[in-house]
Amino acid sequence: MTMTYTGDVSPAGPADVRELDALTIRKASVGPMDNNAYLLTCRRSGAQLLVDAAADPDRLLALIREGSREARLDGILTTHRHHDHIGALASVVAVTGARTHAGVDDAHAIADAAGVRVDGRLRHGSMLPLGDLALEVVALRGHTPGSIALVYREPSDARAPGASPGRAHLFTGDSLFPGGPGRTSGGPDFDSLMDDLEQRVFTALPDDTWVYPGHGRDTTLGAERPHLAEWRARRW
């Protein structure tokens, strides 16, 4: 893979591109709330998935064309129902005809707010195909009832005896950021999100897992893991 990717982007700037063996990740920032949008491209098949059609449909369509001259878009994954993550959803669907996917408990609200049909209603543990690849759905309940993250695992080197699994890449929406979990209403919602993060993310994935959040800079699970007790104590 290339080593120049930093994940630092701005609304007026270019996408940052990360080339993995089987997947290309393009990160761009859009809209007045500086939302991150991610275009995932299967390098073998050319299939493409957009994570969060948040705002600025023209910029997102240009991003899609960066991955495919034919502006191919197979799917759009919406990480959660909040308005700043669906502002360009209807426009991008209208131009590309892409299938839409969201967590089952947010799907109805997204469909109503964006005026689009949600084709794939995803649950914890679902697998979302992307060409020759597959992404695992992780439900992270708390920021919204149906918030989801996606995990892509790089293939291990099958030629190496005892090779460990390849690095994981985690697209978290607004459920995990550098420095803490996403915003909740507190109380049970905070506890739910922290429980899911600890059990489904920090226990399940190693420290070198790269985290791609819905706003701002990237991080790794290793950078955040030492602070879990601190987040619990401060309640945010």
- CATH number for 164: 3.60.15.10
Note down the domain range covering 76. 16-234
Mean pLDDT of 78-105: 98
Residue 2: the pLDDT is 43
- The C-alpha atoms of residue 95 and residue 91 are separated, in whole angstroms, by 6
Work out the average pLDDT over 72-85.
98
pLDDT at 157: 61
Give the separation between CA 133 and CA 219, rounded to whole angstroms: 23
- Indicate whether 4 belongs to any domain: no
pLDDT, tens digit, for every residue of 134-158?
999 999 999 999 999 999 999 876 5
**Interacting residues of 148 by C-beta distance below 8 A, sequence separation 6+:** 77, 79, 80, 102, 103, 106, 122, 124, 137, 138, 139, 140, 173
Instruction: Quote the mean pLDDT of the chain.
Output: 95
- pLDDT for 86 beyond 60: yes
Average pLDDT over residues 11-27: 96
Burial class (CB in 10 A: 0-12, 13-18, 19+), 213: buried
Residues across the chain: 236
First and final CA of the chain: distance in angstroms?
35
pTM as predicted: 0.95
Buried b (16+ CB within 10 A) or exposed e, 89-119: bbbbbeebebbbbbbbbbbebbbebbebebe
Assigned domain for 171 exists: yes
What pLDDT was estimated at residue 124?
Answer: 98
Reply yes or no on whether the pLDDT at 3 is more than 80.
Answer: no
Mean pLDDT to the nearest integer, 61-79: 95
Number of domains in the chain: 1
Percent of the chain with pLDDT over 90: 92
Per residue in 171-198, pLDDT (tens digit) is 999 999 999 999 999 999 999 999 999 9
How confident is residue 160, by pLDDT bands cut at 50, 70 and 90?
low
